[in-house]
Structure 1
């Protein structure tokens, strides 16, 4: 089961799916004259950190013989079967180590040179965040989970994406804000949904579900994997042209608001189109 989880994790990380929300609250304010503010307070899990990376590095050592009967049910292996499987395992050791080294190098490149198996990796990630503008609190909780407070405000003269980490290119966005012609703003929050199963933390067939199974099977060695739980709110004095909230715009002291409750079963990414005219 651990090998299955590791096999699922690698392509997600190398494909840019590095981060997932835990418990959080997030708000985006969009006002006339391009004024904006964005906050995110809560947990972010960096999937490459914690015991999963450690298990990936040590997976070559975990030989277990597996045998099945005529009905394809698990059966006890004979000494001859164990010896045969062990010989095949040993013969493939060189190829496995070479592949492991290639994957580790790819992962370091994705992480901007940070080695996820390094015990100091989490502190290095926290240091990178703390020196970037907007990150007001970055506390490492273990198993790749950071407790953070992020806040920025100003004039929105260009597109905005959260989160970004210096040196880590192509990381998945929780929230993106895109400016359109005609004084329109498009907001998408792909990190707050399981749309097209792009976020491995969402859904019954997720990495989190596999991890829970592995933890039960292997005595609790799997890391904690946080589940998304929170709210995302847009506050604006603009005109809401489109949105996919359940309730639609609600009155707000600053104009109107849109709000989404996010959970492990959230399928649609929050989205809105707002005009300022």
Structure 2
């Protein structure tokens, strides 16, 4: 039955979950500028959806154990079983909101966060901007103290003069990391607010560079504006190809 499949799906996800929350983008606008001299600026402005994995998975695993016990005892339901209720109780909801409000305060203290506001129902509004020099990799978001361990965008150093940008978190999550959670949501395999968090994904990611653009995966290509090449990806819940580009910059000595 469908509710049993949901319980099993969550149980199978358990070994993959390293934190009590999963953070995914909602409606957003993000930009990354990389110069030939390795200086960069990254911005993210928009929604961040928090998925309370601990609450959902605890209930799902309990359901799975109950179903297994029934099957082992040979008991069968005499009437069609009701769809399980994953909705948080008022007490659980209040506790979750308080946790997220405290989280917003803590995250706002970190470098780059110009504004972090918790707006309820697991949704944060974030205004982030950071600049620096790419003599090391860059991930966003990533914060061990606040359990942000599944970054949406990664800037990697490849050799002495090549930089690769990839943004797997800006598209439907599937195929790696958290398994195929986005696909599970689309199929109705995720209950309540957990599935709803994935349905808000809609955004724009713009990459600007005055360095050599080695490769990129946007079908519309780059637009030249003065010395800059500009690539704009628009993503939503149907997008599966993560924005990606390779750029040749000044070599590290």
Per-residue CA shift, 1:208-258, capped at 9, x if unaligned? 8334xx55xxxxx87742421111111000111111111111112451111
Query: Which structure has the greater CA radius of gyration?
Result: 1
Provide the residue aligned with 1:210 in structure 2. 189
Please report how far the alpha carbon of residue 12 of structure 1 lies from its aligned counterpart in structure 2 after TM superposition. 4.8
Per-residue CA shift, 1:132-169, capped at 9, x if unaligned? 01111111122322111110012222110000124146
Q: Secondary structure at the match of 1:210?
A: coil
Superposed, 1:114-263 pairs within 5 Å as 119-168=97-146, 171-193=149-171, 194-196=173-175, 198=177, 202-203=182-183, 205-206=184-185, 209-211=188-190, 214=191, 224-227=196-199, 228-253=201-226, 255-263=228-236
Q: Secondary structure at the match of 2:125?
A: strand
Please report how far the alpha carbon of residue 196 of structure 1 lies from its aligned counterpart in structure 2 after TM superposition. 1.3
Task: Could you tell me which runs of 5 or more consecutive residues in structure 2 were left unpaired when the two chains were aligned.
Answer: 72-76, 82-93
Provide the residue aligned with 2:79 in structure 1. 76
Name the CA distance, whole Å, in 1 between partners of 2:187 and 2:102: 25
Task: Could you tell me which runs of 5 or more consecutive residues in structure 1 were left unpaired when the two chains were aligned.
Answer: 68-73, 83-115, 216-220
Please report how far the alpha carbon of residue 55 of structure 1 lies from its aligned counterpart in structure 2 after TM superposition. 8.1
* TM-score normalised according to structure 2 size: 0.72
Provide the residue aligned with 2:25 in structure 1. 21
Q: C-alpha root-mean-square deviation of aligned residues, in Å?
A: 3.7
Name the CA distance, whole Å, in 2 between partners of 1:17 and 1:243: 32
Per-residue CA shift, 1:177-197, capped at 9, x if unaligned? 112333221111111233516
